[in-house]
Amino acid sequence: MTIDALGPFLLYTKSLHVISVIAWMAGLFYLPRLFIYHCDVPRGSAESERFKVMERRLYKQIMSPAMHATWMFGILLVLTPGVIDWHAKWWHVKLAMVILMTGFQGACSKWRKLFLEDRNTKSQRFYRFANEVPTVLMVIIVIMVIAQPF
Ligand code: HEM
């Protein structure tokens, strides 16, 4: 199903999609890094409270709106006539990676709440590993949409 009225706005919708993606990625790259630093400071310390404020602002003011905007403009692109070829395999791989990225954001939200309540039990090593996940997903997504290998 497509909506003809979206046709003339294609390039603007795509621009807004990519702008939202950039903001979302910035948050996804930075929040796990804040968790890495947060692991280093004692619970209840002034630094820990400062990290909580930084994590809340990053999540609520940037990551969450940017993720919603990415999905909204992405769905508008899907609904624009002539954009999606449902037979192309790359599109399904992209969609799967985007769903994993959204799931990763859900995990970040859970970890942020644990830090907020001084209940984090995960190690710095765990967050260092988690920090790589959005990078790997982003590389695959960009190769899918730009190179469209299959
Ligand atoms: C959240 C769900 C998403 C949906 C529904 C979606 C959907 C779309 C659609 C339909 C297009 C147009 C494809 C075309 O013109 O051939 C597009 C373009 C694009 N998307 Fe997404 N996308 C999503 C998330 C993302 C994410 C997370 C990234 C990057 C990490 C991304 C990166 C891009 C790029 C770079 C383009 C421009 C490709 C080009 O035409 O040169 N998208 N997206």
Beta carbons within 8 Å of 146's beta carbon, 6+ residues apart: none
Closest by alpha carbon to 90, among 142, 18, 19? 142
Amino acid making up residue 143: I
The verdict on the CB of residue 141 being under 6 Å from ligand 1 is yes
In angstroms, the CA 145 to CA 142 distance is: 5
| Distance from the alpha carbon of residue 15 to the mean position of ligand 1, in angstroms | 10
Neighbour tally for 14: CB within 10 Å: 16
Tokens representing 114 are 């644990």
pLDDT per residue, tens digit, the chain (150 aa), is 899 999 999 999 999 999 999 999 999 999 999 999 999 999 999 999 999 999 999 999 999 999 999 999 999 999 999 999 989 999 999 999 999 999 999 999 999 999 999 999 999 999 999 999 999 999 999 999 999 999
Span from the CA of 117 to the centroid of ligand 1 (angstroms): 36
Query: Measured from the CB, is residue 30 less than 6 Å from ligand 1?
Result: no
Ligand 1 pocket test, candidate residues 21, 29, 85, most atoms within 8 A of CB: 21
Atom of ligand 1 nearest to the CA of 102: 1
Residue 88 backbone phi and psi in degrees, to 5: -75, 125
Segments in 1-148 forming alpha helices (H):
10-39, 46-57, 64-79, 89-116, 124-130, 133-147
Global pTM reads: 0.93
Could you give the CA distance from residue 86 to residue 68 in angstroms, rounded to a whole number? 23
